Amino acid sequence: MTPTSRTLTVAATALTIAAASLTAVAQQAPKPEQLIKWRQSAYQVVAWNTGRIKASLDGSYNKDEVVKAANTIVAIANTGLGALFPPGTEQGRGWHDTAVKPELFQDGRKVGEYAANFSREATELAKVAAVGDPAAVKDQYAKLTRTCKSCHDDFRAKD
Amino acid sequence: MTPTSRTLTVAATALTIAAASLTAVAQQAPKPEQLIKWRQSAYQVVAWNTGRIKASLDGSYNKDEVVKAANTIVAIANTGLGALFPPGTEQGRGWHDTAVKPELFQDGRKVGEYAANFSREATELAKVAAVGDPAAVKDQYAKLTRTCKSCHDDFRAKD
């Protein structure tokens, strides 16, 4: 094999590997509708669990129930939901048409701030839930839901 | 007030409170379609997160990503998903028609066993993920997904 043909062979092999890698990535990358389904699902799970805490606060307080719910919310708050909002998912249908406003994809600083607030208050709620004082849980629950509302107000279209 | 009229007044008050409580319960109790949406959402979040772990195992290992995903899965595994499968939700449509088989509502012992297996292996996965050895994560991930499969095989209708 001449040096030139050897170089070409190596280059061709590298290209083949690169093409195979790109194919693998393309196969693995979830489609926008899948990502939108996942993010809609994640917020539904948050809604289920905030509802469990509210039911406990409004009715007979159940510490175990509140702890489980708070632990679920904090896990989702800290899981990195931002990965479910990549470019290309500004519009589209998951379980239903996305309700996200275009502004979410444009104001990364504010989105980051809101996400940090959600994470911080959810983390605090899980701590307070573990202690189990209903009055403290009620206060912290209110702080958490305010972080939901601020983000919904700015970045979620009205129903 | 005579003793009789006093007794009647007390009884009437008790009945009014009971009726108000029943109304509150009826207002608060989520409808079957909402419960089915929540359970479908919870398993979608699990699927998203098992996918993140698999992507890390198949590609370039990202400890932080795997930890977040495992923490999310264990929170959902331990949150009490059984509450989303009450009587009256054997059939119905959440995001889509429920795929659950009638057997799930009949074989509580086996369901409880499967749920405990899911919880145990998810808890172990979160521990192993925190250590960060990819080979150990791969083994534990396989154990976790076997618990998913056994439950799907017995209690989820085929697509």
- Please give the share of chain B, as a percent, with pLDDT higher than 90: 81
Instruction: Compute how many other C-beta atoms are within 10 angstroms of the C-beta atom of residue A126.
Output: 23
For B16-36, how does the pLDDT look when each residue is reduced to its tens digit (9 = 90+)?
Answer: 555 555 545 545 689 999 999
Interface check A89 vs B, CB under 8 A:
no
Average pLDDT over residues B117-137: 98
Closest Cα in chain A, distance from residue B127 (Å): 15
DSSP summary character for residue B96: S
CA B39 vs. chain centroid, Å, equals: 6
> Model confidence at A26, in pLDDT bands (50, 70, 90)?
very low
Cβ-count burial A64-92 (b if 16+ within 10 Å, e if not): ebbbbbbbbbbbbbbbbbeebbeeebeeb
**Cα separation of B68 and B125, whole Å?**
11
Question: Cβ of A41 and B58 within 8 Å?
Answer: no
Question: Cβ of A40 and B42 within 8 Å?
Answer: no
**Cα separation of B126 and B117, whole Å?**
14
Closest Cα in chain A, distance from residue B2 (Å): 35
For B60-81, how does the pLDDT look when each residue is reduced to its tens digit (9 = 90+)?
Answer: 999 999 999 999 999 999 999 9
pLDDT computed for residue A48 by the predictor? 98
Mean model confidence pLDDT for chain A:
90
Average pLDDT over residues A17-35: 68
Instruction: Report yes or no: A121 and A58 within 8 Å, Cβ to Cβ.
Output: no
> Which residues lie closer than 8 Å to B44 by C-beta, 6 or more apart?
A37, A38, A41
**Cα separation of A101 and A29, whole Å?**
23
Average pLDDT over residues B84-109: 97
For residue A1 the two structure tokens come to: 């094999």
CA pseudo-torsion sign B52, B57, B60, B65:
positive
The shortest CB-CB distance from A42 to any of B45, B59, B71 is to B45
> Model confidence at A29, in pLDDT bands (50, 70, 90)?
confident
Helices (DSSP H) in B59-107: which residue ranges? 63-77
Chain A residues within an 8 Å CB radius of B93: none
Closest Cα in chain B, distance from residue A79 (Å): 5
Question: Cβ of B58 and A30 within 8 Å?
Answer: no
Q: Report the chain B residue with the minimal C-alpha distance to residue A28.
A: B55
Mean model confidence pLDDT for chain B:
90
Q: Which residue has the higher pLDDT, B27 or A32?
A: A32
Average pLDDT over residues A92-106: 97
Local structure of B88: helix, strand or coil:
coil
For residue A52 the two structure tokens come to: 């469990």
Interface check A33 vs B, CB under 8 A:
no
Residue A77 has pLDDT above 70, yes or no: yes
Kindly report the length of chain B.
159
Question: Cβ of A49 and B79 within 8 Å?
Answer: yes
Instruction: Report yes or no: B14 and B69 within 8 Å, Cβ to Cβ.
Output: no
